[in-house]
Amino acid sequence: MIYTGPERRKSPRITGRFIVSYRILKEEDAADISQTKNIGLGGMLLTTNKQFSLGTNLALEIRLPFDPNPIMLVAKVLESCEITKDLIYDTRLQFLAVDERHRKVISQTIEYYLKKG
């Protein structure tokens, strides 16, 4: 999924492959594991094995290098596009609420990768 329009994000995103467990918020037993394509303070692009409807809320557990524990978040699906027929989807997510501790971990990760550039 390549966006060629103007940048509208409030914070930068970094390209990075971080392990994510995701599930539809209301479905306790249906978690799957994938990895990010990019991440920022406001959201992420995630590879999923199914297409999600616009506005679906997902529960996420993300493993980032500056915290030994997974970060737990809720995100809303902004877009879910098929990449490989019936197999791989690029799913754009917007974080709905991030507490200060998790915001700091995400921010540290972004800063590190931006400097590493």
Six-digit token string for 109: 């990760």
Distance from C-alpha of 112 to C-alpha of 28, rounded to nearest angstrom: 33
Per-residue model confidence (pLDDT) at position 28: 84
Six-digit token string for 29: 């037993």
- Higher-pLDDT residue of 117 and 46 is 46
Distance from C-alpha of 103 to C-alpha of 108, rounded to nearest angstrom: 9
Q: Which fold is adopted by the domain 13-116?
A: Thrombin, subunit H (2.40.10)
pLDDT at 91 over 60: yes
**SS3 state of residue 106:** helix
pLDDT per residue as tens digits for the range 27-76 = 988 899 999 999 999 999 999 999 999 999 999 999 999 899 999 999 99
Per-residue model confidence (pLDDT) at position 89: 97
| Distance between start and end Cα atoms, the chain | 22
Annotated domain spans of the chain: 13-116
pLDDT at 7 over 70: no
- What's the mean pLDDT in 70-84? 95
Per-residue model confidence (pLDDT) at position 4: 59
How far is C-alpha 19 from the chain's CA centre?
Answer: 10
Tokens 């199914």, residue located: 50
pLDDT at 87 over 80: yes
